[in-house]
Amino acid sequence: MNILVTGGAGYIGSHTCLEMLNENYKLVVYDNLSNSSLDALKRVEKLTGKEVKFIEGDLLNVEKLEQVFQNERFDAVIHFAGLKAVGESVEKPLEYYDNNVVGTLNLLKIMQKYNVKKIVFSSSATVYGVPEKLPLTEESPRSTTNPYGTSKLVIEYILEDLAKSDPEWKIISLRYFNPVGAHKSGEIGEDPNGIPNNLLPFISQVAVGLRDKLNIFGDDYSTKDGTGIRDYIHVVDLAKGHLAALKCMTDATEKGFIPINLGTGNGYSILEMIKAFEKASGKTIPYEVVKRREGDVAECFADTTYAYKKLGWKAKKSIEEMCADAWKWQSTNPDGYRS
Ligand code: NAD
Ligand code: UFG
């Protein structure tokens, strides 16, 4: 199968490309490298001994994107490309809606024109907003608290309408919980620009000595130890979820818009994550409790029943493995792909 992977040079994209190459998929990656490095794909090629066709291009460049469809015949698209920083989206909403929503519309219109009607979309648990009830099922009410989240929710609405309009479309919207960790080789991993927004990359940078301490955003939530609880999922488990989604779409009976949670179903607190990381790295993580971060929820974790039923997929890796693999990547590449 020949697959177009938008945003395939990024964190989740590069891990998914690796798993797909191992299963002999042919891949064309289309990425503008706005938040990634081509080195990630070079390392993927080295690890798998297989080639990825790379095209540097932007989803907002319609002519270039269309050329790709003129030159190749795709069986399906995996659509990772997007901007993802919540705080930045509040400061630059137009940029986020343009890149994420308009970029996706461009892609869908060209897919329709070239009769490629299978897509796996990178959605997020952010579409559940502030959870009313836990665990979150695919039927939980959707709402958002920031422009990034709204861009994901708007794309889901567009995909739902598209699927309703034409029964030939097969659309799987994977709602990721909190992806962390790295490939076990330590060759590819998460390489944030500037100060990390997310917990695990921040802890990793403290452990490797790039930052003095972690700020814990509040310890007065009504959770087991007062700190926020999330459903952390190993990025390799997440990558395998995409393979399961592609296989599901080849089943002739599957059609329409299918949202699926990709999480482990387990919630861990910040203090538990710090402890697990200290154990995996042998380093102490100094921290200070500061005030809550605006927009954060106390607790968020998935009901994973539907993912197993629909895809036969289940996350397998423990938080010990997530921390050990994140540490291997960070300690061997302290400056990410610039190391
Ligand atoms: P990432 O930034 O590492 O990867 C995104 C890739 O898309 C980058 O390589 C970037 O250069 C590319 N890109 C962005 N805009 C583009 C455009 N207009 N044209 C072409 N390429 C473009 O992020 P990631 O963590 O790998 O996330 C992948 C997807 O999953 C994103 O859509 C993100 O919103 C979603 N997601 C991520 C998380 C997370 O915590 N990492 C959680 C839920 C959902
Ligand atoms: N946290 C800290 N200190 C930090 C960073 C995070 O205490 O320096 C805490 C947060 O307050 C939260 C937990 O660690 O309780 C996890 O925070 P992350 O930023 O790693 O993850 P979030 O759950 O806040 O955000 C993630 C994605 C978003 C997505 C959201 C909902 O990064 O893109 O899940 O799906 F919108």
DSSP 146-161: SHHHHHHHHHHHHHHH
Query: What pLDDT, on the 0 to 100 scale, is given for residue 28?
Result: 98
65 pocket-lining for ligand 1 (C-beta < 6 Å): no
Q: Which ligand is nearest to the CA of 126?
A: 2
* Predicted confidence (pLDDT) at residue 205 exceeds the cutoff of 90: yes
Nearest Cα neighbor of 12 from 196, 224, 180 is: 180
Instruction: Assess if residue 61 is contained within a domain.
Output: yes
Q: Which residue has the higher pLDDT, 255 or 234?
A: 234
Instruction: Assess if residue 30 is contained within a domain.
Output: yes
Q: Which residue has the higher pLDDT, 235 or 251?
A: 235
Q: Which ligand is nearest to the CA of 7?
A: 1
Instruction: Assess if residue 105 is contained within a domain.
Output: yes
Identify the band that residue 251 occupies on the pLDDT scale cut at 50, 70 and 90: confident
Query: What pLDDT, on the 0 to 100 scale, is given for residue 44?
Result: 98
Q: Whose CA is nearest to atom 21 of ligand 1?
A: 31
292 pocket-lining for ligand 2 (C-beta < 6 Å): no
pLDDT digits (tens, 9 = 90+) for 143-172: 999 999 999 999 999 999 999 999 999 999
Identify the band that residue 64 occupies on the pLDDT scale cut at 50, 70 and 90: very high
67 pocket-lining for ligand 2 (C-beta < 6 Å): no
Nearest Cα neighbor of 263 from 222, 322, 199, 185 is: 322
27, 72 contact by CB (below 8 A): no
* Predicted confidence (pLDDT) at residue 236 exceeds the cutoff of 90: yes
Q: Whose CA is nearest to atom 33 of ligand 1?
A: 84
Q: Which ligand is nearest to the CA of 96?
A: 1
User: pTM for this one?
Assistant: 0.98
Query: What pLDDT, on the 0 to 100 scale, is given for residue 295?
Result: 86
Instruction: Assess if residue 11 is contained within a domain.
Output: yes
Looking from the CA of residue 84, the nearest atom of ligand 1 is 34
On the 0-12 / 13-18 / 19+ scale of CB atoms within 10 A, 284 is: exposed
Query: What pLDDT, on the 0 to 100 scale, is given for residue 11?
Result: 98
pLDDT digits (tens, 9 = 90+) for 284-337: 999 999 999 988 999 999 999 999 999 999 999 999 999 999 999 999 999 999
Over residues 188-215, the mean pLDDT reads: 96
Ligand 2 centroid – CA 198 distance (Å): 5
Query: What pLDDT, on the 0 to 100 scale, is given for residue 254?
Result: 81
Catalytic residue among 96, 128, 148, 232: 148
Instruction: Assess if residue 321 is contained within a domain.
Output: no
Instruction: Assess if residue 139 is contained within a domain.
Output: yes
Q: Whose CA is nearest to atom 34 of ligand 1?
A: 84
Q: Whose CA is nearest to atom 27 of ligand 2?
A: 178
Ligand 2 centroid – CA 305 distance (Å): 24
Ligand 2 centroid – CA 119 distance (Å): 27
Instruction: Assess if residue 46 is contained within a domain.
Output: yes
Looking from the CA of residue 34, the nearest atom of ligand 1 is 11
Whats the size of the chain, residue-wise? 339
Whether 148 sits among the annotated catalytic residues: the reply is yes
Over residues 174-201, the mean pLDDT reads: 97
CATH of the domain at 146: 3.40.50.720
Query: What pLDDT, on the 0 to 100 scale, is given for residue 253?
Result: 83
Query: What pLDDT, on the 0 to 100 scale, is given for residue 221?
Result: 97
Instruction: Assess if residue 219 is contained within a domain.
Output: no
243, 20 contact by CB (below 8 A): yes
* Predicted confidence (pLDDT) at residue 252 exceeds the cutoff of 90: no
- β-bridge partners, 123: 175
pLDDT digits (tens, 9 = 90+) for 260-277: 999 999 999 999 999 999
In degrees and rounded to multiples of 5, residue 259 shows phi and psi of -85, 140
What percentage of residues in the chain have a pLDDT greater than 90?
96
Query: What pLDDT, on the 0 to 100 scale, is given for residue 255?
Result: 85
Enter the tokens of residue 68. 């790709």
Query: What pLDDT, on the 0 to 100 scale, is given for residue 159?
Result: 98
Query: What pLDDT, on the 0 to 100 scale, is given for residue 339?
Result: 78
Mutate to test the pocket of ligand 1, among 5, 104, 122 (most ligand atoms within 8 A of CB): 122
Mutate to test the pocket of ligand 2, among 197, 231, 287, 299 (most ligand atoms within 8 A of CB): 197
Query: What pLDDT, on the 0 to 100 scale, is given for residue 130?
Result: 94
Nearest-angstrom CA–CA distance, 189 and 324: 12
Task: Among 7-16, 183-192, 243-252, 317-326, name the one with the lowest average pLDDT.
Answer: 243-252
Full residue range of the structural domain in which residue 30 is found: 2-181+232-264+302-315
How many structural domains does the chain have? 1
Identify the band that residue 188 occupies on the pLDDT scale cut at 50, 70 and 90: very high
